[in-house]
Amino acid sequence: MKVMLGLSGGVDSAVAAYLLKKEGYDVVCCFMRNWDAMANGDYLGNPTVNDDQCPQEKDYQDAQKVAAKLGLPLLRVDFIKEYWDHVFSFFIEEYEHGRTPNPDILCNKYIKFDAFLKFAKDNGCDMIAMGHYASREEKDGHFYLKKCRDTNKDQTYFLSQINEEQIRSCLFPLGNIDKKEVRRIAHELQLDSVMDKKDSTGVCFIGERNFREFLKNYIPAQIGNIVDIDTGKIIGTHRGVYYYTIGQHKGLGIGGISGETATGWFIVKKDAKKNILYVTRGDTQQYLMSNKCVVTKLNLINPNEKFPQKVGAKFRYRQPDHPAEINLEGDKIICTYDYYKAVTPGQEAVFYNKDGLLIASGTIDEVYRDDKRID
C-alpha cells in the first residue's frame, strides 16, 4: 500500500516515516508549506522577520536530511492560499467577534486532512499518514479517533473536526508509543537534524509569535474601556478586546486601583460590539462557572449515535475530561455538566464515550449557568 506521510522537519513525523517503512508500506514523504510571512504581512510580533533564513526553510532542510537518511522520496507542496482562505481568514473573523478559535483544529480539518489528502490521491497514494499522537479504531463499521497511549501527548482534541472518511484514510504510526520512545528511536537511527529538535509551538504552521503584536497585523488596535462588572465603573482602558482572553489576569494595566495590583483583576466578559472588557477582582467563580453549553458546527462520526449519552467532555486541550451528558437537538448538541470554569464560546468541545472513542465535537456557541446565559 502506498502512503504519503506529512514530513514536517520534526522528530515525530520522522519516526512515523521510519515505522511505516519498517511495517512494509511504500512510503512517500511530503513537506507542506502553508504560510508566507512576507506575502501575508506577518511583520509585527514576528521574532524571525529579520533572520537570514525563515524557519520553514530550515524545517524543509531538516526534512530533506531525514528523507535521505531513511531512503525515502520527498515531495514539497504549497497550500498557502488554502490556509489563508479556510483557516486564517476564519481565525481573524472570529477574533473580530471577540471569540478565540483554535487554528490547529481548522488546519487539520482543511489542510492536513483535506488539501493534503487530495494531493496524495492525485499522486497515486492509497492513504496518508501523520506524526500525530492519536490512534484510530474501527467499531461497528465506523472509524473513530481514539486517544493514544501517551495520554500526556494525545492530540485527538486537535483532530476532532476531521470526518470519518478522513480518519479512514489516515494512519497514525505513533498511536502506541510515547514521546520518550520516539526520541530513543530517532537517536538510534542517528537522525541528527531532528532527534533533539525542540517541538514546534505557537500558531499552526505560523510558529511562535508575540500574539498581541501579531494580531495587530490584521486587526487594528482600538482603545476601549475596562469596566468593573460588579460596580459598572470604568477603571482603565485596553487596546482592543480581540487581544485579551476570558480568565486573563496579567497585562491588563489596571494596577493601583484602590491599592490593588493588576494581578488582582480577571477578565470575565468581552463585548466585541461595544469594545468593552469586563473584569472582576479576585474570585471569578460566579462569572466563569457554568453547567450547560450549546455546541454547533458538529462533527458527528456515527449519524446513528444514541442520545442522550454520558461522555467525557474536553473544553480545552490541557484540561482533563469532565463528566457530562450530551443530547442531540436538531443540528446542535446540548451538553450539561457539573459546574465547570471558563467554558468559552468559540472554543471546541470534544466528547469521548466510555470506551475512549471520540464520538462528536463542535464549537461552543452559548454558555449557561442554571439556565441563564452568561456569555
Active-site residue identified among 107, 125, 293, 335 = 107
Burial of 58 (0-12, 13-18, 19+ CB in 10 A): middle
How far from chain centre, in Å, is Cα 344?
A: 15
- For the question of residue 54 being annotated catalytic, the response is no
**Plot region of 97 (φ>0 → left; ψ -120 to 50 → alpha; else → beta):** alpha
Tens-digit pLDDT profile for residues 174-219: 999 999 999 999 999 999 999 999 988 777 878 888 888 999 999 9
Whole-Å CA distances, 180 to 15, 37, 184, 198, 372: 12, 33, 6, 13, 46
C-alpha grid cell for residue 242?
480581540
pTM greater than 0.75? yes
Determine contact, residues 117/144, Cβ cutoff 8 Å: no
Determine contact, residues 335/342, Cβ cutoff 8 Å: no
Predicted pLDDT of residue 264:
82
3-state secondary structure of 24: coil
User: What does each of the 375 residues of the chain score in pLDDT, given as a tens digit?
Assistant: 999 999 999 999 999 999 999 999 999 999 999 999 989 999 999 988 888 788 889 999 999 999 999 999 999 999 999 999 999 999 999 988 888 888 899 999 999 999 999 999 999 999 999 999 999 999 999 999 999 999 899 999 999 999 999 999 999 999 999 999 999 999 999 999 999 999 887 778 788 888 889 999 999 889 999 999 999 999 999 988 988 888 888 888 886 555 444 458 899 999 989 999 999 987 788 888 999 999 999 999 999 999 999 999 999 998 899 999 999 999 999 999 999 998 999 999 999 999 999 999 999 999 999 999 987
- For the question of residue 29 being annotated catalytic, the response is no
Q: Spell out the CATH class of 289-373.
A: mainly beta
C-alpha grid cell for residue 97?
467577534
Predicted pLDDT of residue 363:
96
| Alpha-helical segments (H) within the chain | 11-22, 55-70, 80-83, 89-96, 103-107, 116-122, 164-168, 179-188, 211-216, 285-288
Predicted pLDDT of residue 261:
47
Predicted pLDDT of residue 68:
98
User: Locate cell 449515535: which residue?
Assistant: 305
User: Got the DSSP string for 177-241?
Assistant: S-HHHHHHHHHHTT-TTTTTPPPP-SBTTTB---HHHHHHTTS----EEEEETTT--EEEEES-G
Predicted pLDDT of residue 256:
52
CATH 3.40.50.620 for domain 2-212, yes or no, is yes
* Helix orientation angle between 11-22 and 55-70, rounded to the nearest 10 degrees: 20
Domain boundaries of the chain, sorted by first residue: 2-212, 220-283, 289-373
**Plot region of 318 (φ>0 → left; ψ -120 to 50 → alpha; else → beta):** alpha
Q: What CATH topology corresponds to 220-283? A: SH3 type barrels. (2.30.30)
Output the CA torsion sign for 103, 109, 113, 119: negative
Cis peptide leading into residue 103 (ω within 30°): no
Active-site residue identified among 54, 148, 204, 335 = 204
